[in-house]
Structure 1
Amino acid sequence: MNFQENFIQAVWKYQYFEKLDLKTVSGVPLSVKKIGYHNFHEGPDFLESQIILGNIEYHGNIEVHLKSSGWNAHGHEQDDNYESVILHVVWEHDTDIKHKDGTLIPTLELKGRVFLDVIRNYERLIAPSKGLLCGEFLDSVGDIIKFSMLEKALVERLYEKANVIKKEVELTAGDWEEVTYRWLFYCFGFKVNSSAMLKLARSLPYKILKKHSGQPLVQEALLLGQAGFHQRDVEISDDYTSFVKREYGFYQSKYGLSEPFFSSEWKFMSVRPSNYPSVRIAQLASILSHGPNLFSALKEEVNSVEDLLPIFQVKPSNYWEHHYQLGKASLKSQNRVLSKRMINLLGINFVVPLWFAYGNYTDDPAWKERCFDFLQGVPAEENSIVRSYLQENWQPQNAFDSQAMIGMHHHYCSQKKCLDCKIGQNLLRPRK
C-alpha cells in the first residue's frame, strides 16, 4: 500500500480501525481511553493520551509512523521529548523500539485492521487528477463542511498576512499610521515589486511626507526621487523631471535621507505599463496627499468597499496622464485613477489584513467579524485559482469564498494535504 504517514495519523485520530481484541505486537491487551490531541508542532504526534495495557493505565503521548523503524530514522531515540511516549502506532512493525533505559515501547500494528472502506476512500482521494484531487467527489460533501473549511483557510490566510504587518508594528513601536503607510506600499507592489515598495516606505518615513500634506507635487518628488527614478535616464528630461530632481535633492539633504534606490531594485519586465512602480508611486502620493491620517480613516470611516472610493479614487498629477516613467511619454493619454476593480482588490488585500492584524494586536475579536462582513460584501475575485474550483462546480459567492479558495489552494490542494483539510477528512471516513 502506498500510504503517507498522515494517513496513519488520520486513522488513529478518527479510530478508523477494528478495535475488537486489540493487542500490542507483543500480545498485551490494549484499550484506548483517550486518543490524545493532534500535535502539529515538534514532539510526539498525539499529546495527553490515555490507554490501558493489560490491567495498567498509562497517561502520556503517542507517536505514529508507517514502520516502527521510522522511530530511529527520525532520530527520536536521541530526543528526550519522546521519552513520554506510551504507545507507538504503526502500519507495519519491522523492528523493536526502546526507551533510553532499554525498556520496550509498546507498539500497535494497524496492518490488517484499518477499515477497507477507509483505504479505498484514501486511494480514490490521492489518485492522479487534472484538477482538484477531491473534485470528483465534492458533490457528496455537505455545505456545512465546505463552509467550515473555507473559514479555516481564510483565517489562516489572514494570519499569514497579519504576520507581515506584525513585523512592521514591532519596527515602528506600534505606530499604526506608519504601519498602514508601509503596508499600503507593500500591497501596491502587487507581488512583483512588493519588497522594493516596502523598502521604499521604510526609507522615507510617513511623518516626513505628512509635513508636505498640502504640497502633493513635493510628495511625488520625494517618493520618486527616493525610489531613484530621477536617475534612470539622465539624458532625457522635461520640466516635471527637472522639478523632481531639484526638489528631491533639496529635501534629501534637509532630512538626511538614505541614498536613493538603484534602478535594478525595480522590476519592469513582464509588468504592464499601468502597473509600473513609477505610476503606482504617483498614485500613492495622490492617495496620501488627500488623506494624511489613513489608518484613522480606515478604522473609523470604512465599513464597506464603497467607503473606500473617496480614499482611493483620486487623481495623480497631470503629468502621469501622458507618462509611465519620468521623461518617457506614453503614446496616448491614460486615466490613472484607480478602477473599481482595483479598489475591490485593495479592500481585500490591504484593508482586511490590516484590520485583522489590528484586532490581534488589540485582542479584540470584533475585528475578525468586521473582516468577514466586509469580504462578504465584495464580489469574488476572478483568477486561475478560483477558476479551478469553478471547474468543479464550486461557485464562490463573494470575496470571503474566493480568498478562502486561494488559501486552500496554496496550503492544502497544491501540496496535496488532503488529510489536513476538512473536506478530505470527510471524504476519508467510512460510509454507512
Structure 2
Amino acid sequence: MSFPEEFIHYLWKFCLFNKQDYKTVAGESLDIISVGLHNMNAGPDFESSKIRIGGTLWVGNVEIHIRSSDWNRHQHQFDLAYENVILHVVSVHDESVFRKDGTEIPVFEIKDLIPKEIAQNYASLMANMSWIPCEKHLSSIEPFFLKNWLSRVLIERLEEKSVQVNELLKEYKGSWDDAFYIMLARNFGFKTNAVPFEMLARSLPRQLLAKYKNSSSQIEALIFGQAGFLNEMFTESYPNIIMQEYRFLKKKHGLKSIDRYLWKYMRLRPRNFPSLRLAQFAALIWKSNHLFSRINDENDIQNIFKLFRDIPLNSYWDTHFRFGKKCNQTVSSLGDESIKNILINSVAVFSFAFGLTHGNKDHVNKGINLLEKMGPEDNAHIKRFIQINWIPENAAQSQALLQLKKTYCDQKKCLSCGIGIKILAKNNATTVSDIF
C-alpha cells in the first residue's frame, strides 16, 4: 500500500517503526537519537535532528519523501537550504541523491518497518466516509484526552481569528475601537448579511457617528441611509423623518450609500431581517461610544450581556420588522442567542487578541473564560456532534468542535490531530504522550 508523505512525517515524528536494528540502504547502522523539530515552513521537513550513522554522530536536517527520486523532482539539488540534510527518509528508495559537493545523502527506507496495526488504522481512517473520519472510534478515547485536545484546538481557533484582528488594527493604525467596530458590524449581519454589514461600517467611519452621539435619529439616519434603505418616499412618519435627515447628512459629509440589493431576506426569520438588525446596530452605536474600551474594562459577563440586551430601539420597531410593513407586536431587542453569537465571535476574540498583542495573560484568559461561561452554540454542526454523542459543555468546546471539523476532519488531517494520532498509535500509547 502506498502512503502519503504526511504519513511518513507522522511515523518519523513519533519514531513509530517496528523495533529492530535500523540500517541505511548502504548497510550502515542507524541510531535515531532525536528526530528533531517538525518544520512547518519552507525547507527541510525536520530541523536539528541528531542521529548516529556507523560510528559518526550527525546533527542537522532530515528530509522526507515518498520516493528518494522526489529529491531531484522537487529541485532540492539546487537549493542551498537542503545542503545540511544528514538523512533522507523515504518509503521507497529508487535513486541515489547527492549534495552540491557530490557527497551522497544517506537514505533510510521505511516501507518494511511500518507497524501493521498503524498502517491498518490509517487506511481505515482515510477510507472512512463518516461525517468525521474517527466517528466510530470516539468511544474508545478517554473523555479527559478529548477535553484536553479541544482546549488546544480552541487556542488554535482564537489565534487564527486574532490574525484577522491584527489585519484590521494595521488598517486602522492601531485603533482597537475602530477595528472592533468593523468586526462587530460584520457579526451583526451573522452569516447571511455579514458582507453588507461590513461594507456599511467601512462606508461610515466610527468618528463620524461619534459626532452625532447625542441624537439617536441622526445615528439611525446615517445607518439606514448608508445601508441604502432610504432612497424612496414612505407613507409613515418615522422613515420619512430619518430619510430627510439622511439627505442632509449625505450632502454635508459627501457620503455614498451601498446598494440596497446586497441585503438578503430570503430564508430568514423576521427577527433576523437586516432592517431590524440595522435598527439594533444603530441603537447600540448611539448608546455605547468607545464600546470595545468599555467591554475591555468589564469582567462581569452579565454586565457585558446587558450592554447588548438593553439597547433602546425606536418604538417604530415594536410593530415593524421592515419599513412600511406593519405587523403584530414584535420582540425588537436582541435575543440571547444573537447576543451569545456576538460575544463569541467579536468580544471573546478581541479580548484574546488584545491579551496576545499586549502580553497580558489576564485578557487572554478573559476571552477564554467568556466562552467557558456561555452555553454551547446551537447550529447544524453542533447538533451533528451531539448526534454522535460528543456533547459540548460550553461555547469554548463548541467553538473548538467547529475548528476541529473545519481544520482537521473535513481535510482528513488525522495525522495532525491529537485524536487521530491517539487512534493510530493506540497500541503504542507510550509514544503519544508528547502530544500534550
Normalised to the residue count of structure 2, the TM-score between the two structures is 0.92
* 1:10-409 equivalences in 2 (<5 Å): 10-231=10-231, 234=232, 236-257=234-255, 259-305=256-302, 307-326=304-323, 328-409=324-405
> Contact 1:291–1:311 (CA<8 Å) still a contact in 2?
no
Aligned residues: 428
Amino acid corresponding to residue 261 of structure 1 in structure 2 = I
Q: Which has the higher contact order (CA 8 A, sep 6+)?
A: 1
1:311 offset after TM fit, Å? Answer: 3.4
> Contact 2:228–2:258 (CA<8 Å) still a contact in 1?
yes
Runs of 4+ that moved beyond 4 A: none
Task: Go from structure 1 to structure 2 and tell me whether the alpha carbon gap of 1:220 and 1:235 turns closer, same or farther (over 3 Å shift).
Answer: closer
Cα distance in 2 for residues equivalent to 1:421 and 1:305: 35
SS in 1 for 2:31: strand
SS in 2 for 1:229: coil
> Contact 1:154–1:407 (CA<8 Å) still a contact in 2?
yes
SS in 2 for 1:230: coil
Cα distance in 2 for residues equivalent to 1:413 and 1:170: 32
Cα distance in 1 for residues equivalent to 2:160 and 2:205: 25
CA distances 1:19-68 after superposition (whole Å, capped 9, x unpaired): 52211112222111210001112111111111122222222111112222
Cα distance in 1 for residues equivalent to 2:105 and 2:273: 62
1:17 offset after TM fit, Å? Answer: 0.7
SS in 1 for 2:191: coil
> Contact 1:313–1:339 (CA<8 Å) still a contact in 2?
no
Amino acid corresponding to residue 314 of structure 1 in structure 2 = I
Structure 1 counterpart of 2:433: none
Cα distance in 1 for residues equivalent to 2:326 and 2:161: 35
> Contact 1:29–1:53 (CA<8 Å) still a contact in 2?
yes
1:237 offset after TM fit, Å? Answer: 4.5
1:97 offset after TM fit, Å? Answer: 2.0
> Contact 2:193–2:274 (CA<8 Å) still a contact in 1?
yes
> Contact 1:151–1:404 (CA<8 Å) still a contact in 2?
yes
Structure 1 counterpart of 2:422: 426
- Which segment is superposed worse, 240-249 or 307-316? 307-316
> Contact 2:321–2:330 (CA<8 Å) still a contact in 1?
no
- Which segment is superposed worse, 153-162 or 121-130? 121-130
Structure 1 counterpart of 2:410: 414
Amino acid corresponding to residue 313 of structure 2 in structure 1 = P
Amino acid corresponding to residue 100 of structure 1 in structure 2 = K
Normalised to the residue count of structure 1, the TM-score between the two structures is 0.93
1:306 offset after TM fit, Å? Answer: 5.6
Task: Go from structure 1 to structure 2 and tell me whether the alpha carbon gap of 1:79 and 1:333 turns closer, same or farther (over 3 Å shift).
Answer: farther
1:416 offset after TM fit, Å? Answer: 0.7
Cα distance in 2 for residues equivalent to 1:78 and 1:277: 57
Amino acid corresponding to residue 173 of structure 1 in structure 2 = K
Task: Go from structure 1 to structure 2 and tell me whether the alpha carbon gap of 1:237 and 1:357 turns closer, same or farther (over 3 Å shift).
Answer: farther
> Contact 2:49–2:59 (CA<8 Å) still a contact in 1?
yes
CA distances 1:79-114 after superposition (whole Å, capped 9, x unpaired): 322222111111111222222333222111001111
Amino acid corresponding to residue 399 of structure 2 in structure 1 = Q
Amino acid corresponding to residue 375 of structure 2 in structure 1 = P
SS in 2 for 1:47: strand
Cα distance in 2 for residues equivalent to 1:46 and 1:347: 40
1:431 offset after TM fit, Å? Answer: 1.3
Task: Go from structure 1 to structure 2 and tell me whether the alpha carbon gap of 1:77 and 1:336 turns closer, same or farther (over 3 Å shift).
Answer: farther
Amino acid corresponding to residue 345 of structure 1 in structure 2 = N
Task: Go from structure 1 to structure 2 and tell me whether the alpha carbon gap of 1:308 and 1:118 turns closer, same or farther (over 3 Å shift).
Answer: same
CA distances 1:163-212 after superposition (whole Å, capped 9, x unpaired): 22212211222222222222210111212222322222122111221222
Q: Structure 2: which 5+ residue stretches go unaligned?
A: 429-436
> Contact 1:165–1:354 (CA<8 Å) still a contact in 2?
yes
> Contact 2:376–2:394 (CA<8 Å) still a contact in 1?
yes
1:75 offset after TM fit, Å? Answer: 3.2
1:240 offset after TM fit, Å? Answer: 2.5
Task: Go from structure 1 to structure 2 and tell me whether the alpha carbon gap of 1:76 and 1:266 turns closer, same or farther (over 3 Å shift).
Answer: farther
